[in-house]
C-alpha cells in the first residue's frame, strides 16, 4: 500500500486523503438564549433594589443608583467569570456562581462604598437573590426535563 502522495512514506493525519475522524457527539450549543437570561438576572437585582427602597421609605430616584450599582456590577462580574453566555440558564455551576458573586461582591462593594452593612440586610439579600436568580433557572431546568421526557414518550 502506498503512503502519502504515492510515496512509500506512511500517511499521517492532516495529509490529503487521510481519513478524517468523525465526531459522534453533537457540537456544543447554547441551550438558552442569552438576552432573556441576562434580563432575568437584571430584573432580579432591580426588583431587589426597588423593594428594598420602598420598604424603607426612601426616595426612589435618589436611592436607586446608589443602591443598585454594587449588585449590578457584581452580577456583571459573575456573568463574565462564569462565561454565562455559554449556557446562562444552568443552575449549577452558572447560576450558583453568578448568585454567589452578586451577593458577596455586592455586599463588599456596598460596604467599601460606605453604604453600611447590617446582618439582616445581608440575609435578605442572600435569600431574595437566591430565590430570584436561581428560581428562574430551576424553572427552566424543570421545563427542559419535562420536554425531554415528553419527547421520549
CA 81 – CA 101 distance, rounded (Å): 9
Burial status of residue 57 (CB atoms within 10 A of its CB: 0-12, 13-18, 19 or more): exposed
User: Can you give the pLDDT at residue 19?
Assistant: 54
Does the N-terminal peptide bond of residue 93 adopt cis geometry, omega within 30 degrees of 0? yes
User: Can you give the pLDDT at residue 72?
Assistant: 98
- Proportion of the chain above pLDDT 90, given as a percent: 69
Contacts 24+ apart (CB under 8 A), 63-69: 66/115, 67/115, 69/109
User: Can you give the pLDDT at residue 134?
Assistant: 98
pLDDT in tens, 29-86: 446 789 999 999 999 999 999 998 888 766 788 789 999 999 999 999 999 999 999 9
Contacts of 17 (CB under 8 A, 6+ apart): 11
Whether the predicted pLDDT of 9 surpasses 60: no
CA 13 – CA 104 distance, rounded (Å): 49
Instruction: Please tell me whether residue 92 adopts helix, strand or coil conformation.
Output: helix
Amino acid at each position: 500500500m502506498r503512503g502519502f502522495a504515492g510515496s512509500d512514506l506512511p500517511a499521517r493525519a492532516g495529509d490529503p486523503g487521510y481519513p478524517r475522524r468523525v465526531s459522534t457527539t453533537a457540537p456544543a450549543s447554547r441551550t438558552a438564549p442569552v438576552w432573556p437570561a441576562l434580563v432575568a438576572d437584571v430584573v432580579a437585582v432591580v426588583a431587589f433594589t426597588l423593594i428594598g427602597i420602598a420598604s424603607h421609605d426612601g426616595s426612589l430616584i435618589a436611592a436607586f443608583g446608589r443602591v443598585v450599582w454594587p449588585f449590578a456590577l457584581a452580577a456583571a462580574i459573575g456573568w463574565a467569570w462564569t462565561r454565562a453566555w455559554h449556557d446562562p440558564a444552568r443552575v449549577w455551576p452558572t447560576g450558583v456562581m453568578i448568585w454567589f458573586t452578586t451577593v458577596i461582591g455586592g455586599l463588599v462593594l456596598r460596604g467599601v462604598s460606605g453604604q453600611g452593612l447590617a446582618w439582616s440586610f445581608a440575609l435578605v439579600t442572600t435569600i431574595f437573590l437566591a430565590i430570584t436568580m436561581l428560581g428562574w433557572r430551576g424553572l427552566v431546568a424543570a421545563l427542559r426535563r419535562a420536554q425531554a421526557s415528553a419527547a421520549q414518550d
